[in-house]
Amino acid sequence: MATPGKHLVATPPVSTPFSTSNHHSHPAFSPHGPRSVVPSPQTVKKSPANPNFYGYGVGVGYDSPSAAMALGGLGLEGMGIGMGSGRADEDDRRRRLGTVMEILQGNKGRLSEAGMERLARRVGLECLWETHMGNGGGRSLIIAGSALALEIDFTNNLVKKVALSFPESSEAVARHSDKAGDILLRDLQFGLGESPLTKMLDRFAGNLERLAQLDKLSVIPGLNCHEAIAGIYESLERLHVWEVERLKEQADMAGKDSAFLERTALCTKSGKPAMHTRDRLGLSIDYWQDKRRVSGQTSKLEEQKIWSLLVECAPLPAMVFPPLRVSQNWISTEVQKVNPPVEDAMFLDGPILDWLEPDNTLLPSSEPAKPDAMEGIEQASSQKVPEVMFVAKFDPPLIVPMGLAMQIYNSTSAALDMSQLSTFDGLMFPHGPNDPAETSEARTIETEATVPVFDKNGEKSTQTHRNTLLIDKIDYGRNLTDLPFSHPRQLVEMLPALRQYAFLSTVLQKTFGTSSKPPSKETSPTKSKKDEFADFMAQTAAPKRSFRMDVHLTTQPLLKLRVAFPFKRRVADVTFEIKLNGVVEVVSQNLFNEERSPGEAKGLKAADLGRMLEITEDLGIWAEFVKRRLEG
């Protein structure tokens, strides 16, 4: 049996957790941006709404028997929570109450008129019922907040119509309300195999909670968080349309349809903003798509895995971070600077975008006038900034090296919590119960995968691959989940680096992730003459040999994958560098010599090997392509 990693040579020892040697691979996002972590005792966390007894249904009945059983099992009946004995410890009662709240929070209830009203009140919205006269009767539930109104028509507990409006908002918000209402209606309609007894409100609850969060943070008049989100969309959509038009002018884009151009802008430019998409309310900035280079997929963008930044609002934990601003003019109408400064032209490659700085959004202050300690003159504080900030949530979460995470947080002046440290490979491939605890030593991961193989006639077969991932230069990592920001420019400038690791995650997961399995025990392919004769006499075939491939991953100072596998009685050795925007470049290879042996390359160039990995996004399929093309 082959020894794992026998094709590869070990690299230098472990790197430090705070190494900044990755600056070549991850340049600063802005030439004038901060270069160090901004110290702050604050960490950005979610601020859930404070529950009340009525909102969670305690003592007012349940539409789920599991909640009632939980109360009974914990000895909490109705509003007399643990008060019967009078001896329960206060901390114990608080713990039990917290357990009940967690159960009730997790259970959004089933679709019914009563269940819908409880859900709306739970998230802090007001409810009002209106009864229909004639036409079969029925009722409408009016759910209202400070800046939104949602009308849901019921007939016998079945939802017939959903209408969403934003009475206090601008046209930038109102133009997307019909699309949002359609999503909410689909959330409440019966799917295949669903009935009034099984239809849950979970998906609808998620969208309603997002609406309620923006509404609760709004201060009408003065601050409308729905308009703040829509304003970012308007600016980024203006940028996206401009970039698509510029792509049409490129020679290599001649004849390409609009879907291809939009996908190119999504994966290589400033992303693609979208309001209320993929059954989720809110703004998403799509920046990466799996199988982006596969032909025939241009009309099925929604079916591919999309990597996005979800833009939301959150309470400002302390005045140590810039509050949000409400504006539709984060970038100029011309988009590109006409006469950019010389220093910008020297640092930045490509067009210089004309980003703008909108004025601060100010609210009337309720604080009384305070005397000035120096002048002795009362200074009336008539205005204040909102205690709300923008937050970008990574969907899905993205695993990056610690050095890149520090650059990302520095670029938005956010504080990075350094209390939890984990290795990059430990986040990408969590240690199992039988694996040793995470250490700073080298790690080897072995998997087995079934790879489709197509011959020259197009006939399909399969080949078993036994893959080994070697990580001997340990790097610390971070799983990016959410990030506060103050300007959409900050998000756009980090997209090229995010795409590097979105692509890497796809490649590694297909080869070593959930689609693979632990290696099975394999009998040795080497047999004696006597054993071979015995197999022949027994009419049994020798087991098919598996294909072995070693992959060496390094993230510092550059992101590289080195692949080795048997090829023409020697060991093929190809090193890829994954660059910004997920571009794959072949650093070295020994498969062929383009200059000395053109026939050996069979029309291939080194750049074609990188492009094939971009297309397949799978090292196993890529290796089979190389074998079929160059060995045949």
Asked whether the predicted pLDDT for residue 563 surpasses 90, the reply is yes
45-49, 90-94, 471-475: segment of lowest average pLDDT: 45-49
pLDDT band at residue 275 using 50, 70 and 90 as cut-offs: very high
pLDDT band at residue 197 using 50, 70 and 90 as cut-offs: confident
Between 629 and 295, where is the model more confident? Answer: 629
Q: Which residue matches tokens 């909108």? A: 358
Residues 607-630: tens digit of each pLDDT: 999 999 999 999 999 999 998 888
Residues 373-427: tens digit of each pLDDT: 444 444 445 789 999 999 999 999 999 999 999 999 999 999 998 888 899 999 9
Question: Residue 295 and residue 298: Cα distance in Å, rounded?
Answer: 7
> Which residues on adjacent β-strands are paired with residue 28?
none
Please, what is the Cα angle at 575 between 544 and 469, to 5 degrees? 50
The whole-number pLDDT of residue 196 equals: 83
The whole-number pLDDT of residue 14 equals: 39
Task: From 135, 189, 141, select the one nearest 163 (Cα to Cα).
Answer: 141
Q: Which residue matches tokens 């100072």? A: 557
**Which residue type, as a one-letter code, is found at position 75?**
G
What average pLDDT does this structure show over 12-21? 40
Transcribe 285-353 into DSSP letters: EEEEETTTT-TT-TT-GGGS-EEEEEEEEEE-SSTTSPPP---S-SEEEEEE-SS--HHHHHH--S--E
Residues 507-551: tens digit of each pLDDT: 999 889 877 777 776 544 455 666 655 654 554 443 456 799 999
Taking the domains of the chain in order of start, what are their residue ranges? 65-85+93-217
Residues 142-177: tens digit of each pLDDT: 999 999 999 999 988 899 999 999 998 999 999 999
Question: Residue 382 and residue 83: Cα distance in Å, rounded?
Answer: 48
Percent of the chain scored above 90 by pLDDT? 53
Which 3 state secondary structure label does DSSP give 420?
coil
**Angle between the N-to-C axes of helices 225-248 and 488-512, in degrees from 0 to 180, rounded to the nearest 10:** 70
Between 599 and 235, where is the model more confident? Answer: 235
The whole-number pLDDT of residue 87 equals: 55
Both tokens of 560, joined, read 């590289």
Between the CA of residue 60 and those of 72, 123, 173, 269, what are the distances in Å?
15, 17, 37, 53
Centre a 10 Å sphere on the Cβ of residue 200 and count the other Cβ atoms it contains. Answer: 15
Asked whether the predicted pLDDT for residue 237 surpasses 70, the reply is yes
Mean pLDDT score of the chain: 81
The answer to whether the CB of 512 falls within 8 A of the CB of 429 is yes
The answer to whether the CB of 107 falls within 8 A of the CB of 100 is no
The answer to whether the CB of 363 falls within 8 A of the CB of 222 is yes
Transcribe 476-544 into DSSP letters: EEEEEEEEEES-HHHHHHHHHHHHHHHHHHHHHHHHHSTTSBPPPP---S---HHHHHHHHHTT-PPPP
pLDDT band at residue 61 using 50, 70 and 90 as cut-offs: very low
Question: Residue 454 and residue 462: Cα distance in Å, rounded?
Answer: 8
Question: Residue 614 and residue 385: Cα distance in Å, rounded?
Answer: 46
The answer to whether the CB of 609 falls within 8 A of the CB of 600 is no
Question: Residue 117 and residue 441: Cα distance in Å, rounded?
Answer: 55
Q: Which residue matches tokens 């209390």? A: 419
CA 204 to chain centre: 21
The whole-number pLDDT of residue 1 equals: 42
Task: From 511, 502, 471, 478, select the one nearest 583 (Cα to Cα).
Answer: 502
Question: Residue 226 and residue 80: Cα distance in Å, rounded?
Answer: 40
pLDDT band at residue 600 using 50, 70 and 90 as cut-offs: low
The answer to whether the CB of 169 falls within 8 A of the CB of 227 is yes
